[in-house]
Amino acid sequence: MASITLDNLGKIYPGGTRAVGDVNIDIADGEFIVLVGPSGCGKSTLLRMVAGLESITEGEVRIGDRVVNRIEPADRDIAMVFQNYALYPHMSVRQNLAYGLKNRRTPRAEIERRVTEAAEILQIGPFLDRKPRALSGGQRQRVAMGRAIVREPAAFLFDEPLSNLDAKLRVQMRLEIKELQRRLRTTSLYVTHDQLEAMTLADRLVVLNGGRVEQIGTPLEVYRKPASAFVAGFIGSPAMNLLDARAVPHLPGTAHAGTIGIRPEDLSIAANGPIEMEVTAVEELGAQRLVHGLTGGEAITITLPPDAPLSETLRLGFDRGNLHLFQRETGARIN
Amino acid sequence: MIENRPGLNALAHLALIAGVVIVALPVWIAFVASTHTATDFSSGTVPMWPGPHLVENYSRMLDAGVSTSGTPPVGRMMLNSLIMALLIACGKIAISILSAFAIVYFRFPLRGLAFWCIFVTLMLPVEVRIVPTFQVVAGLGLLNSYAGLSVPLIASATATFLFRQVFLTMPDELVEAARIDGAGPMKFFRDILLPLSRTNMAALFVILFIYGWNQYLWPLLITTDAQYYTIVAGIKRMADAVDGLPQWHLVMATAVLAMLPPVAVVIGMQKLFVKGLVETEK
């Protein structure tokens, strides 16, 4: 177990394209950090730089108190779980788990002990002698995690490990990963583009956009006080309404703001509220109802209880404390 | 396109049967000829059914050979052919899998040039470079040796490309997982690439074995010692009768015998062969 420090980390590809820049993150021992952002934001590159699969062109990565910039992936004391599992197709599950240990010349009895233990934790004991192709997606995922666990590394690196699973299994595995990490207390770095996965798993979230860190914080901090309009729109489902201040000029207290954000769940129907919304579509989710519409030409969404009365136009109100104000040019938070 | 019309079905079968007959007829004639005496075959009418001399002809070829043409017994020539074909097939596979490994997985200076050099050899089959190759082999003192028979035929661009294609379909994550698992390049090659290319190697082995077995011009050129005659070149020598008619019945018996090993290899490795050529999932 160890802490991980990313110090001014950056990556410029040979062609001159900058994939990642100025990343500073201190990951405490045992912490679960989730890197989240849209595709192409550099989150996978960042993870692969920590793993040693991508060379580092700027800054430093430290695992424990050792700078690992020029150390081979195998010697960094990390284990990685890949999106498509990357199991060795010709080896049985047992051999898959043992391969990394065998290469490190771990004594046979010790390998046996660790494999049995990991199999028990992940409940893959019955499949130990099967080939990966005879396993379901969820089982393969477990084997991939088992391969990381048996190594007993300083850190786990997860590269979108759940995106190849169906929705139901994803929710279940998400929970299992969280429990597993809590139990093993291994420092973890997890990459995903799914903000829900990020919110539920993370001790702290790192929101990335265009290769730069937009915000670092606990899921609640990020949700309640997004540092920029980008984070505001990315975290939370349904997404926060971001309105151009010019489209709603009459809102009080928004004089200097370029963009006004308000979460759909913070809006409510109020007879003489300041926002008038023209309803264009309704989505029934069972427990609630998502109503989409337009105000001053800007799209706006509101969540309502399923029995709320609907009409062509709605007047909406909100609590002033729930407004998020952002600068027009930089998108940075004002209030 | 799946249609179920009896008329079309019959037509399709007819076409296929015609094809089979066209391909099989010469083989049948060869077999028939090998069961008759020499005179039966050169007397004017070609017999269509096997004669009574099968055992006699074949045992003569296996034991003694045709002394007048200076060829050793068929057994010896078959052994020579087998050794040459195996050396060529195994040598080609070993060399090309290693060079494909280097080209796909290593970034070294002049990699592009190396790749193109291999590519260019595609345009230089043995027949084209036969005179200089002969000179080199003669200079090295390899005439009348198994090395001389096989080494010049081993370097192979086609097999290198096939393995390159196979390696390119291996997911990158597999390489990365192996790196994280602490497998160095040669360990990765041995533990992961080789087992995963098994079926491709088998398919290639079948093709290359037949290629090696059927070599004609090169063995004919560099073997002057009957000890090293291969069967395909030997048939040619037998058919070259200086003073009289070729003993067709014996030549045909040898030809039939020469067909057997490639057929055995194809039948024996059929399953792996097909799997290696059609399998894409890794």
Chain centroid to Cα B104, Å, comes to 27
Average pLDDT of span A273-278: 87
User: What average pLDDT is seen over chain B?
Assistant: 83
Numbered ranges of CATH 2.40.50.140 in chain A: 238-326
Please calculate the CA angle A66-A72-A77 and round it to the nearest 5 degrees. Answer: 55
Contacts of B182 in chain A (CB under 8 A): 74-75, 100, 103-104
B196 to A103: CB separation less than 8 angstroms, yes or no: no
How far away is chain A from the Cα of B93, in angstroms, using its nearest Cα? Answer: 21
Rounded Cα distance, A217 and A238, in Å: 20
Average pLDDT of span A30-42: 92
From A72, A82, A88, residue closest to B192, measured CB to CB: A88
Q: Render the burial of B209-221: b for 16+ CB within 10 Å, e for the rest.
A: bbbbbebeebbbb
Rounded Cα distance, A171 and A165, in Å: 9
Is residue B140 within 8 Å of residue B223, measured between CB atoms? no
Domains contained in chain B, CATH given: 52-280 (1.10.3720.10)
Residue A12 vs residue B8, higher pLDDT? A12
Q: What is the pTM of this model?
A: 0.81
pLDDT at B282 over 50: no
Q: What is the pLDDT of residue B242?
A: 65
DSSP class of residue B9 equals H
Rounded Cα distance, A139 and A162, in Å: 12
Distances in whole angstroms, Cα of residue B58 to Cα of each of B63, B187, B253: 9, 50, 6
* Residue in the block written with tokens 């200089």: B132
Above pLDDT 90, what percent of chain B? Answer: 18
B173 to A84: CB separation less than 8 angstroms, yes or no: yes
Cis check for the bond before B246: say yes or no (omega within 30 of 0): no
A90 touches chain B (CB under 8 A): yes
Is residue B137 within 8 Å of residue B129, measured between CB atoms? no
Contacts of B179 in chain A (CB under 8 A): 52-53, 72-74
How far away is chain B from the Cα of A188, in angstroms, using its nearest Cα? Answer: 16
Rounded Cα distance, B174 and B195, in Å: 13
Is residue B144 within 8 Å of residue B223, measured between CB atoms? yes
A-B C-beta contacts closer than 8 Å: 58
Numbered ranges of CATH 3.40.50.300 in chain A: 4-229
Q: Which CATH number fits domain A238-326: 2.60.120.10, 1.20.810.10, 2.40.50.140, 3.30.420.40?
A: 2.40.50.140
> In which band, very low, low, confident or very high, does the pLDDT at B241 lie, cut at 50, 70 and 90?
low
B181 to A74: CB separation less than 8 angstroms, yes or no: yes
Cβ-defined contacts of A277-281 (< 8 Å, 24+): A277/A302, A277/A313, A277/A314, A277/A315, A277/A316, A278/A312, A278/A313, A279/A310, A279/A311, A279/A312, A279/A313, A279/A314
> In which band, very low, low, confident or very high, does the pLDDT at B281 lie, cut at 50, 70 and 90?
low
Please calculate the CA angle B64-B65-B68 and round it to the nearest 5 degrees. Answer: 115
Contacts of B192 in chain A (CB under 8 A): 88, 90
Rounded Cα distance, B38 and B33, in Å: 9
Q: Which amino acid, one-letter code, is at B1?
A: M
Q: What share of chain B is helix, strand, coil (3-state, %, to 5)?
A: 75, 0, 25
The tens digit of pLDDT for each residue in A55-72 reads 999 999 999 889 999 999
Mean pLDDT is lowest, of A273-287, B26-40, B49-63, B92-106, for B49-63
Q: What is the pLDDT of residue A292?
A: 93
Task: Give the residue among A232, A200, A191, A194 at the shortest CA–CA distance from A219.
Answer: A200
Q: Render the burial of A110-147: b for 16+ CB within 10 Å, e for the rest.
A: ebeebbeebbebbebeebbeebbeebeebbbbbbbbbb
CATH architecture, domain defined by A4-229: 3-Layer(aba) Sandwich (3.40)
Nearest CA in chain A to B175: A86
A169 touches chain B (CB under 8 A): no
From B173, B182, B196, residue closest to A74, measured CB to CB: B182
Average pLDDT of span B60-69: 65
How far away is chain A from the Cα of B183, in angstroms, using its nearest Cα? Answer: 6
A131 touches chain B (CB under 8 A): no
A83 touches chain B (CB under 8 A): yes
User: What average pLDDT is seen over chain A?
Assistant: 90
